Amino acid sequence: SRQCLLDFPSSVLCLALAAIFLFLSCMMEWASKRSVIRMNGDKFRRFVKAPPRNYSVVIMFTALQPQRQCGVCRQADEEFQVLANSWRYSSAFTNKVFFASVDFDEGSDVFQMLNMNSAPTFLHFPSKGKPRRSDTYELQVRGFAAEQLARWVADRTDVQIRVIRPPNYAGPLLLGFLLAVIGGLAYLRRHNLEFLFNKNVWAFSALCFVLIMTSGQMWNHIRGPPYAHKNPSTGQVSYIHGSSQAQFVAETHIVLLFNAAVTMGIVLLCEAATTDIDIGKRKIMCVAGMGLVMLFFSWLLSIFRAKYHGYPYSFLMS
Per-residue pLDDT tens over the stretch 59-68: 999 988 888 8
CA-atom Rg of the chain in angstroms: 28
pTM: 0.59
Q: Which residue has the higher pLDDT, 238 or 293?
A: 293
Helix residue ranges per DSSP H, the chain: 2-33, 41-44, 71-88, 108-113, 139-142, 146-157, 170-188, 199-214, 217-223, 249-274, 279-307
pLDDT band at 48 (very low <50, low <70, confident <90, very high): confident
| Cis, peptide link before residue 120, omega less than 30° from 0 | yes
pLDDT at 89 over 50: yes
Question: How high is the pLDDT of residue 215?
Answer: 87
Question: How high is the pLDDT of residue 313?
Answer: 76
Query: From CA 156, how far away is CA 96, in angstroms rounded?
Result: 12
Q: Which residue has the higher pLDDT, 131 or 225?
A: 131
